[in-house]
Amino acid sequence: MATEILKTENPYLEAFRAVPVQPTSERTAWLARLRRNAMDHFTEVGFPSVHDEEWKYTNVAPIARFAFEIPAPQQTAFDLTEFTYPETAKSQLVFVNGVLRNELSDLSALPDQLVAIDLSTAVVDERYGDIVWQHLAQQADYVANGFVALNTAFLSSGAFIYVPKNLIVETPLHLVFICDSEDKAVSFPRVLVVAEESSSISLIETYAATAETAYFTNAVVELALKDNARVTHYKVQRESKDAFHVATTAADLGRNSNYDTTTITLGAQLSRHDIAAIMDNEGAECRVDGLYIVTTGQHTDTHSVIDHRKPNCSSHQLYKGILDGKSRAVFNGKIFVRHDAQKTDAMQTNKNLLLSKDARVDTKPQLEILADDVKCAHGAAVGQIDEDELFYLETRGIHPDLARNLLTYGFAEEVITNISVASIRQELDEAVLNRLNARLEV
């Protein structure tokens, strides 16, 4: 098992000990304790195995066996064009191998009141240190997840986003995470977002690489939305085809707040995304959407938990998957409706389109309802292209292969059209069409 492999040889513990934390203040002493506690927990539990219920369909033993190394800091210059969007050319933070590169970042299009700085800087800042202390490692609990524990143990550089009360940020903020290293690199991206009362911001989170190498990205994003705050959050994962990508996104929603997130999964040979939204305040709303497109040699896994704890909250989730070749996808969505969460409105849907007989999907939408005055529904569907729709297009003179591509494209567009950033929509349109055209030419 992965855990047994880790306990016999733990290169991460050796790397952790090689860079001891020297507390210079009360806040850095707190961070040092947090990191040590996280590493102690990771050393004890290790990586999850297929014997764990939440990981039974995803075997992370290849990650545990791979001798990944933390790359040394570098100042390599490269063209950012393929990693960024025109809308965010002057509103982006760029991280290379998990470390913020200020010379590649540009925040000139954002209002001065918005705080977007390195997390390590925020920890010791007199203005923001207490805010970090209140929220860091609160939404994403490292005790419940070995990958979160590992990320927390190596917590150093990262993004701290603070949106002051009543601030409306019109331009999206782009967090760009790039792997620029040889094989066996590992990085630990960390993001903390605090949106104060009646504030609003759009975030774009992307992951990519400069080369098709085998590396490991272990990311954690925490969001705290105060009363009436609004956060729109897009994640685009287009890692190397040989990479491993494991991520956790955890959001805590305040009264009448709104969290709208869409995750696009295109890359990595093995990817896992855990999403949690906690609605412990009345009137909160969230939309959790996603699209995964995988082909031969790819395995993607999405686990979501939407926790309704107070009355009059709503959540809607639509996840779609397109699988080709010998690929596999896992979707496990849970909606909890607690005893006091009356008037809950929750909807969850997972749909999968199989383009190959060798593709496989394991889907498990779940509802656990403990209240009696609710409106909840969930469903899942797995199938191939509808032959009647295909026949209809063929009778209009469209070639069968082109007709299949059009129907597949239309299947993905339901998620893509909900994205408000034009460049992301265009990128995803091209990604879908390029994959379909490649399949057409084979």
**239 near 268, Cβ under 8 Å?**
yes
Instruction: Give pLDDT, residue 344.
Output: 97
Instruction: Give pLDDT, residue 108.
Output: 96
Please tell me the number of Cα atoms within 13 Å of 306 on its side-chain side.
Answer: 30
Q: What is residue 338's DSSP assignment?
A: -
Alpha-carbon span 195 to 222, nearest angstrom: 11
Alpha-carbon span 169 to 91, nearest angstrom: 11
Instruction: Give pLDDT, residue 1.
Output: 44
CB atoms within 10 A of CB 218: 22
Instruction: Please state the pTM of the whole predicted model.
Output: 0.93
Instruction: Give pLDDT, residue 156.
Output: 86
Largest Cα separation within the chain, whole Å, is: 74
Low-confidence ranges of the chain (pLDDT < 70): 1-9, 19-24, 435-442
**35 near 155, Cβ under 8 Å?**
yes
- 70, amino acid identity: I
**238 near 207, Cβ under 8 Å?**
yes
**What b/e string do you get for 335-348 counting C-beta neighbours within 10 Å, with b at 16 or more?**
bbbbeebbbbebbb
Closest CA to 178 of 104, 64, 96: 96
Alpha-carbon span 396 to 390, nearest angstrom: 10
Q: What is the dihedral of CA 320, 60, 55, 235, to 10 degrees?
A: -30
H/E stretch holding 402 reads helix 400-416
Instruction: Give pLDDT, residue 7.
Output: 47
Closest CA to 199 of 177, 168, 175: 168
Could you tell me which residues come within 8 angstroms of residue 20 by beta carbon, excluding any fewer than 6 positions away? Answer: none
H/E stretch holding 31 reads helix 26-45
Q: What is the dihedral of CA 333, 302, 187, 85, to 10 degrees?
A: -100
Instruction: Give pLDDT, residue 182.
Output: 80
Instruction: Give pLDDT, residue 22.
Output: 65
- Which residues, in sequence order, are bridge partners of residue 383? 353
H/E stretch holding 395 reads helix 387-395
Q: How many residues does the chain have?
A: 442
Residue 83 phi/psi, 5° resolution? -105, -10
CB atoms within 10 A of CB 39: 22
Alpha-carbon span 341 to 282, nearest angstrom: 9
Residue 87 token pair = 């809308």
Q: Measured at the alpha carbon of residue 259, what is the angle toward residues 173 and 109, in degrees to the nearest 5?
A: 15
Instruction: Give pLDDT, residue 8.
Output: 43
Residue 107 phi/psi, 5° resolution? -120, 20
- 196, amino acid identity: E
